[in-house]
């Protein structure tokens, strides 16, 4: 599993945690903290999607639908029900998981990966249209504003506030969320569950012959992946406090997140984090170019597919492989 | 212990097996021999549940398995070494072998792991190597080890000698004998008639999806048709 996780994945996560701990003490303005907060939320989104796309090997293209479902369901429950976002984010995650299992059933019957891609893409478009047309509830493309932020936390004399105007609190919350989700997934995937996913990805026939129940495991993976993405959507909703169907389930979200995964490294655990960092920063730098940014994203994807098909994480792995080849005794004669 | 009775198999509209019946007794080594495209691999896939027969029965120790998925077989004492090994190339050798014990409780899987390494000690130095980087012969050892992790009573082996050097064929042949000596019945397929029947208690000759001949290994080797077509021996003209 070195290829997926590297040699010391928990150490890498600990280093990331240390880096995130230092950030609030750096002289960074609110704008930079906002970019880092968005990066952390999108990293979780990309990692969740990578679970099915890269680690299980199912070419799904509709995970932005789960992001939208998590975001809207959490926001609607909090806004209309007056429930604390600390609770409604779980409503968002569970709704996305249920949607993942729902769409997972027909996908299990499809062997052709292009068809899996089309079905999931169509599902995302349906979700976008549903939220767009439920105008009485979501206000459609006008935007669902007034979403409450996470309730403040008081520690001693200090009150930590969240939401778009509270950069440090929001960054801290996103960092905890990022680390908790990645730690949970790392624990899950470095166990027998991770081996099972990788076995299914590498050879379904071999996996099945060993007693692995393909359908059950794929549904489980789909559910977990959708829940993680839905949770990231819910956290995003209570951070930015306004949603539109197109900004959450539209093609721009699909291309941006797909680019993050491809650039970072499909099927590499830490790849999407690197991709999310690079492209979130790039997105802000190129903001003045508006929709033309998508052209650059497309170009970046093409360049990476040809020059570094395993993404940023694969570049490092390439060096590991060279080092391994230099070590004698890994392979013998036939 | 394992019986395939009157099996028909279709791939879409194309029928590839017709009324195939094969039996593997307790501790037997049974060969299915035939030319390319005769349906040998499909026989093993049907037995393992990886290909659903359109009719016929698959019976293991009296239990009918034909309608049940492949995932049931390892829990019932059946295991398969697939054609071209089908290892998980990006995992380590250790991970590949451990996955072979997937259907067993963790403690039993760890005991099986020790047993397998005692049987195939040549794997031990490569446990942390990436499986896809091993040579073909080493990969076959790992595939056999993975197949044995389920502690099967019947081991199916799909073309176990395919792509191996003559020296490695000898090695794998010896390992199969040793496994069989441990009381594990083996059903394997192979294109080489001499190799197949010389090492098996019983053999079946498959042609165009039909069993055209069966008998003990010796009988098969002595059969004039096998000699003429598959061993290239010409009958003396009287």
Q: Is residue B222 part of a domain?
A: no
Instruction: Label residue A92 by pLDDT band (50, 70, 90).
Output: very high
- The tokens for B212 are 């055209």
DSSP A173-194: HHHHHHHHHHHHHHHHHTSHHH
* Domain-located, residue A168: yes
- Residue B204 in any domain: the answer is yes
Q: Are the beta carbons of A209 and B90 separated by less than 8 Å?
A: no
Q: Residue B103 is nearest to which of A3, A211, A333, comparing CB atoms?
A: A211
Could you say which of B151, B168, B199 is where a domain stops? B151
Of all helices (H) and strands (E), which one includes residue A202? helix A192-202
Check whether residue B46 and residue B144 sit in a common domain. no
For residue A330, name the pLDDT band (cuts at 50, 70, 90).
very low
Cβ contacts of A212 on chain B, cutoff 8 Å: 71, 102
Same domain, B109 and B198: no
- The residue in chain A having the minimum alpha-carbon distance to the alpha carbon of residue B143 is A206
- pTM (whole model) above 0.95: no
Tell me the ipTM for this assembly. Answer: 0.87
Residues B70 and B166 in one domain: yes
Q: Please calculate the CA angle A255-A257-A259 and round it to the nearest 5 degrees.
A: 65
Contact between chains at B164 and A203 (C-beta distance less than 8 A)? no
User: Considering only CB atoms, which chain B residues are within 8 Å of A334?
Assistant: 135-138, 164-165, 168
CA–CA distance from B212 to each of B20, B57, B152, B219, B226 (Å)? 10, 19, 29, 14, 11
Does residue A2 sit within a domain? no
Q: Look at the block and give the residue holding tokens 């935007």.
A: A143
pLDDT, tens digit, 9 for 90 and up, residues B74-117: 888 899 999 887 899 989 999 999 999 888 888 888 888 998 89
Full residue range of the structural domain in which residue A88 is found: 10-250
The DSSP element (H or E) to which A172 belongs, if any, is helix A167-189
Q: Is A26 a member of any domain?
A: yes
pLDDT of A99 > 90? The answer is yes
Is B234 part of any domain? Answer: no
Instruction: Judge whether B40 and B209 are in contact, CB under 8 Å.
Output: no
The structural domain count of chain B equals 2
Kindly state whether residue B223 falls inside one of the protein's structural domains: no
Beta strands per DSSP E along A63-187 = 144-145, 153-155, 158-160
Closest-CA residue of chain A to B46 = A209
How confident is residue A283, by pLDDT bands cut at 50, 70 and 90?
Answer: confident
Q: Which of B50, B102, B126 sits opposite A205 (nearest CB)?
A: B50
Asked whether A42 and A280 are in contact (CB, 8 A), the reply is yes
The answer to whether position A292 is within a domain reads no
- A319 lies in a domain? no
Any domain includes A234: yes
Same domain, B92 and B6: no
- CATH of residue B57: 3.40.50.300
**A198 → closest Cβ in B80, B88, B98:** B88
Residue A108, chain B, CB below 8 Å: the answer is: no
A112 burial level (CB within 10 Å; 0-12, 13-18, 19+): exposed
Residues B162 and B72 both lie in one domain: yes
Same domain, B156 and B190: yes
Binning pLDDT at 50, 70 and 90, where does residue A297 land? confident
Residue B131 lies in a domain: yes
Rounded Cα gap, residues A330 and A323, in angstroms:
12
What is the model's pLDDT at position A57? 86
> A158 pairs with which residues across the strands?
A155
Q: What is the pLDDT of residue A15?
A: 96
| Record: contact B79-A213, CB cut-off 8 A | no
The domain tally of chain A equals: 1
Taking CA atoms, what residue in B is nearest to A329?
A: B126
Residues B69 and B160 in one domain: yes
Instruction: Kindly report, residue by residue over A196-216, the tens digit of the pLDDT.
Output: 999 999 999 999 999 999 989
Q: What is the pLDDT of residue A235?
A: 97
**Subunit contact B102:A210, Cβ cutoff 8 A:** yes
Q: Do B68 and B99 sit in the same domain of this protein? A: no
Closest CA in chain A for residue B75: A211
Name the pLDDT band for B238 (thresholds 50, 70, 90): very low
How far is it, in rounded angstroms, from Cα B30 to Cα B217? Answer: 8
Asked if residue B237 is part of any domain, the answer here is no
B111 Cα to chain A: minimum distance (Å): 17
Range of the domain at B157: 1-77+152-213
Q: Looking at the structure, do residues B70 and B167 belong to the same domain, yes or no? A: yes
Whether residues B69 and B97 share a domain: the answer is: no
Chain B residues whose CB is inside 8 A of the A198 CB are 88, 90-91
The answer, for A209 touching chain B at a CB cutoff of 8 Å, is yes
Contact: A208, B73; criterion CB under 8 Å: no
Q: Do A331 and B87 touch (CB under 8 A)?
A: no
Measure Cα distances from A62 to A14, A118, A268, B171 in Å: 31, 9, 20, 50
The strand pair at B154-158 and B78-81 is best described as parallel
B158 lies in the same domain as B187:
yes
Is the Cβ–Cβ distance between B190 and B161 less than 8 Å?
yes
Whether residue B133 is found in the same domain as residue B202: no
């Amino acid at each position: 599993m070195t290829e997926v996780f590297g040699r010391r994945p928990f150490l890498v996560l600990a280093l990331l945690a240390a880096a995130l701990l230092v950030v609030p003490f750096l002289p960074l303005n609110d704008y930079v903290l906002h970019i880092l907060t968005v990066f952390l939320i999108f990293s979780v989104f990309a990692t969740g999607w990578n679970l099915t796309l890269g680690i299980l090997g199912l070419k799904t293209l509709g995970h932005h639908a789960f992001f939208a479902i998590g975001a809207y369901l959490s926001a609607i429950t909090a806004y209309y029900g007056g429930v604390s976002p600390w609770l409604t984010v779980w409503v968002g995650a569970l709704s996305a998981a249920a949607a993942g299992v729902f769409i997972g059933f027909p996908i299990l019957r499809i062997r052709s990966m292009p068809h899996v891609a089309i079905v999931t893409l169509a599902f995302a478009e349906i979700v976008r249209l549903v939220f767009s047309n439920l105008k009485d509830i979501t206000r459609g493309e006008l935007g669902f504003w007034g979403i409450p932020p996470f309730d403040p936390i008081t520690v001693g004399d200090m009150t930590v506030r969240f939401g778009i105007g509270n950069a440090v609190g929001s960054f801290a919350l996103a960092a905890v969320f990022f680390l908790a989700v990645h730690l949970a997934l790392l624990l899950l995937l470095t166990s027998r569950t991770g081996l099972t996913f990788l076995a299914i990805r590498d050879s379904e026939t071999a996996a099945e012959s060993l007693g692995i129940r393909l359908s059950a495991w794929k549904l489980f993976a789909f559910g977990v992946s959708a829940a993680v993405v839905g949770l990231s959507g819910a956290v995003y909703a209570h951070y930015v406090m306004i949603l539109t169907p197109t900004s959450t389930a539209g093609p721009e979200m699909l291309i941006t997140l797909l680019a993050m995964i491809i650039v970072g490294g499909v099927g590499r655990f830490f790849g999407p984090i690197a991709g999310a960092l690079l492209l979130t920063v790039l997105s802000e730098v190129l903001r003045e170019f508006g929709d033309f940014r998508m052209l650059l994203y497309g170009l970046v994807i093409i360049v990476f597919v040809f020059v570094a098909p395993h993404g940023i994480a694969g570049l490092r792995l390439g060096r590991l492989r060279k080092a391994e080849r230099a070590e004698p005794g890994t392979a013998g004669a036939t | 212990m394992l019986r395939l009775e009157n099996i028909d198999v279709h791939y879409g509209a194309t029928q590839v097996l017709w009324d195939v019946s094969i039996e593997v007794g307790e501790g037997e080594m049974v060969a299915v021999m035939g030319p390319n495209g005769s349906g040998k691999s499909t026989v093993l896939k049907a037995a393992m549940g990886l290909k659903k027969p359109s009719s016929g029965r698959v019976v293991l120790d009296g239990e009918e398995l034909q309608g049940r998925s492949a995932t049931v077989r390892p829990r019932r004492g059946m295991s398969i070494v697939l054609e071209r090994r089908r290892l998980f190339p990006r995992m380590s050798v250790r991970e590949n072998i451990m996955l072979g014990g997937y259907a067993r409780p963790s403690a039993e899987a760890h005991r099986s792991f020790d047993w397998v390494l005692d049987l195939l000690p040549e794997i031990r130095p490569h446990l942390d190597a990436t499986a896809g980087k091993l040579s073909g012969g080493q990969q076959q050892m790992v595939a056999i080890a993975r197949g044995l992790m389920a502690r099967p009573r019947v081991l199916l082996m799909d073309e176990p000698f395919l792509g191996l050097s003559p020296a490695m064929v000898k090695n794998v042949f010896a390992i199969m004998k040793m496994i069989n000596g441990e009381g594990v019945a083996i059903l394997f397929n192979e294109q080489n008639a001499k190799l197949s029947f010389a090492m098996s208690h019983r053999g079946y000759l498959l042609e165009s999806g039909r069993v055209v001949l069966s008998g003990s290994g010796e009988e098969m080797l002595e059969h004039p048709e096998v000699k003429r077509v598959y061993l290239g021996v010409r009958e003396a003209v009287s």
